[in-house]
Amino acid sequence: MKNKVFIICLIIISTAMLSVTASAQGKAGTSAAPELLIPVGAKYVSMGGASAASASGVDAIFWNPAGVAVGEGGSALFSYRQYIADISINSFAVSTQFEGVGSVGLSLRSFNIGQINVTTEDQPDGTGEIINPSFFTLGVTYSTQLTDRVSIGMNVNLVNESFGSVSASGVAFDAGVQYRNLIDVTGLSLGVTVKNIGTPMQYDGSALWRAADDPNSERGLTYYKVQAATSQMPSIIEIGVGYTKTIDENNIAELSTTFKNNNYGIDEYKFGAQYSFMNLLSLRAGFTYSTDPFGRVSIFENYTLGAGLNLSTIADTPIEIDYAYVPVTFFAANHVFDIRLKF
């Protein structure tokens, strides 16, 4: 029965895959909402994003919503990432379980881009006007365990972008499945997820109106609207395998790998490792191999590092702190900080 349920889930996910598989290199940089591809959460960022099979609890909202139901009780996650070019990302997520229903989560990601001087064709040095772009994603998550081994989950994300007098919005869906103790091997897990399947986005607003004088008419100065292009969501597919080994009561090791098929970029193979001591200290590392013929992984280096501290083991407080280090070419390294509160 367990295997039948898992096969049905894989069929559903595989059907969704058909809508996003395509040659991607020629479409790089042309999708809508590229911010959906920026990972959040220090724990799995430090493991290279190889988390399709292993993500659990509130962290799984971004990585694989099927893992949200695997966590115990409720959790709240506050995450901050110092990104490139003075951009920072603040994210918040909370999830809780309802007996007989499943797990429900809520998430918010906000990008702080800062102030930008407005320039025009006639005033390339600036008009004196300043705009503050606003990019945010608001998501709702549902996850449930179909059996003691199989869990499924889904995100519905509202995406909004605005700057100056133009804005665009859309809805993106994520779906995932996880299977634990695969082929009756304790600690072996398999995960599949499809992300960012949704509505196209198109900018609109008063800034798209332009004054023009048609020499072939007597209408005089007339306003014409520039029609912005429509772009699709940056859909991706991830398939991963993870293995957790309990060495003894104080030492646990975890290895994971994930293949990422990016419909608007280059495919990647991700590898992650974590070592936990006494459920207190965790050390993590990740590596990404790009299928680009030149071996490039965008502007980011191909390795990540991180650590986590579970304060509940040394103090009467249900708080965990995580950190991730992400080296970047041409820019300063990214630093990701998390605070996780369990309740």
Does residue 331 lie within any of the structural domains? yes
**Average pLDDT of the residues in 285-303:** 81
Q: Quick one: tokens of 163?
A: 């700057």
pLDDT in tens, 60-80: 999 999 999 997 789 999 999
Does residue 332 lie within any of the structural domains? yes
pTM of the shown model: 0.88
Residue 302 DSSP label: S
Contact 262, 268 (CB under 8 A): yes
Does residue 48 lie within any of the structural domains? yes
Structural domain that includes position 286: 2-201+232-342
Number of domains within the chain: 1
Torsion angle, alpha carbons of 285, 247, 282, 187, to 10:
70
**Average pLDDT of the residues in 14-21:** 46
Does residue 185 lie within any of the structural domains? yes
Does residue 337 lie within any of the structural domains? yes
**Average confidence score pLDDT of the chain:** 89
**Average pLDDT of the residues in 112-118:** 89
Q: Quick one: tokens of 252?
A: 């646990």
- 244 or 114: which carries more pLDDT confidence? 244
pLDDT in tens, 257-289: 999 998 888 889 999 999 999 999 999 999 999
Q: What is the CATH number of the domain that holds 152?
A: 2.40.160.60
Chain mean position to CA 248 = 33
At residue 19 the predicted structure's pLDDT band, cuts being 50, 70 and 90, is very low
